[in-house]
Amino acid sequence: MNMFWENVRLALTSLRTNKSRTFLTMLGIIIGIAAVIAIKTVGNSLSLSVSDSMQSMGANNITVYLNSKEADKDETEDGYVFGTVTNDRALTKDDLFNDEMIMGMFRQFSDSIAAISTQAEVETTTVKKGTNSKSLSISGVSLGYFTANSLEFVSGGFFSADEAKDGRNVIIVGTDFVDSLYGGNYAGIIGETVSMPLYNKNMDFVVVGVYKYQASIYTMNSSSSAYIPLKAAQSITHFDRYTTFSVVSKVGVDSDELAVSIKDYLNGFYRNSNRLEVETYNMASMISGMNDMMGKITTAVSVIAGIALLVGGIGVMNIMLVSITERTREIGTRKALGATNGYIRMQFIIEAVVICIIGGTIGILTGLLMGAIGAKILGFAAAPSVSSIVGSLAFSMFIGIFFGYYPANKAAKMNPIDALRYE
């Protein structure tokens, strides 16, 4: 230990006397380590932020939708680009999902399914109260909607099972609606009747719940979402088919597996269709896809960084060879004073390791800065990867030992008298 710290001190002294040379030697290590740390920081930030949003969006949600088999074609004859069936105007009502299919599917997999969320858009309307008015976007939703989407209630709650089953005229509104028209009296509005024109008819709805409205970048217009029972919506629109719906899997069920089963089951209805097929996506598979991509980028960057580190390591070896040649007489003197070969070897290996660790540390700091900037540009919170920092330090040390060994051994094997006489 005595000698170890003495050697570290010695190495620092020798590096200080050759500052610019030392820095240039370190550059390869700095670039290599910085690249790895930067990409790891961005990757880590990305997956953390994705898993955050996964939790808020519901990791167990599986979205089922109809996809055009012709989607591979970039365009139709009239030049209209489409991917999903919603853009295909020529489809008929009979092509879409109906309640029978969905119920059949539910019965088949009832052990795995916690809820099914079906939704029907009615229309956007305007509610007037005195001189004020507020735009409301009305959707009919099944009870499962509230399982699939986490709505926070300020007062009241969901529709009752009876209200949903009978399709009664009840409504759930957002706090922003209450703020605009009812002076923020969230408790007082429960049980009140709200009138609005829908499909050119004036209709009354009784407020049963107020959910907490959360502004998001996806809210393009100023209309507030309001929810009525699916049955009520269907009796207004006279349309009971769906192009998409969501399934919430039970806790402990593998969403990926369930998604495949659902897809296979529902595709049974579309076996003879040459236009449509059923597709699903879920958060879990999206995340694993994203992680796969990140993994590939990380591998590519690591290969480049590995080359930089190799070149850096050779640079360290080169400078160590120069250093021992310059200090041949010093090595001879040390041997005359009783330094063993092992001690001389250790002295120069430690010097190489010190260069690499300083280079590695600068690289880590640079990489963290670059990663933080990168994450900010992409809009994520920067999350440094601790394992890659520890790994980088260990790897710097390894480079120092590996590339320092040959020069150090050369110094150790010098004949003392030849070294002393060296001019």
Partner 1 sequence: MSEGANTVISLKNIIKRFYIGTPNELQILNGITLDVHEGEFVSIVGQSGSGKSTLMNLIGLLDRPTEGEYHIDGLDTASASDNDLSYIRNQQIGFVFQTYNLVPKTDALKNVELPMLYAGVSRKERTQRALELLELVDMGDRTKHLPEELSGGQKQRVAIARAMANDPAIILADEPTGALDSKTGRAVMDLFHKLNKEQGKTILLITHSNELAEETDRIITIKDGYITGERKGSGCVPTPSETVSESEVTEA
Give the residues lining the site for partner 1 (CB under 8 A): 2-3, 6, 10, 13-14, 17, 329-330, 332-343, 415-417, 420
Of 165 and 413, nearer to partner 1 (C-beta) is 413
Specify burial of residue 173 (Cβ count, 10 A radius: 0-12, 13-18, 19+): buried
Of 21 and 212, nearer to partner 1 (C-beta) is 21
Instruction: Name 144's Cβ contacts closer than 8 Å, sequence gap at least 6.
Output: 115, 116, 117, 118, 246, 248
Please report how close the Cβ of residue 423 comes to partner 1 at its closest, in angstroms: 10
Of 13 and 133, nearer to partner 1 (C-beta) is 13
Of 13 and 86, nearer to partner 1 (C-beta) is 13
Please report how close the Cβ of residue 15 comes to partner 1 at its closest, in angstroms: 11
Of 332 and 367, nearer to partner 1 (C-beta) is 332
Of 346 and 397, nearer to partner 1 (C-beta) is 346
224 - beta bridge partners? 136
Please report how close the Cβ of residue 422 comes to partner 1 at its closest, in angstroms: 11
Of 69 and 329, nearer to partner 1 (C-beta) is 329
Please report how close the Cβ of residue 313 comes to partner 1 at its closest, in angstroms: 26
- The encoded tokens of residue 415 equal 């004949």
275 touches 69 (CB < 8 A): yes
Please report how close the Cβ of residue 352 comes to partner 1 at its closest, in angstroms: 18
178 touches 186 (CB < 8 A): yes
Of 29 and 419, nearer to partner 1 (C-beta) is 419
Of 12 and 187, nearer to partner 1 (C-beta) is 12
Please report how close the Cβ of residue 408 comes to partner 1 at its closest, in angstroms: 16
Please report how close the Cβ of residue 323 comes to partner 1 at its closest, in angstroms: 12
Please report how close the Cβ of residue 326 comes to partner 1 at its closest, in angstroms: 10
Please report how close the Cβ of residue 296 comes to partner 1 at its closest, in angstroms: 49
Instruction: Name 217's Cβ contacts closer than 8 Å, sequence gap at least 6.
Output: none
Of 62 and 419, nearer to partner 1 (C-beta) is 419
Please report how close the Cβ of residue 11 comes to partner 1 at its closest, in angstroms: 12
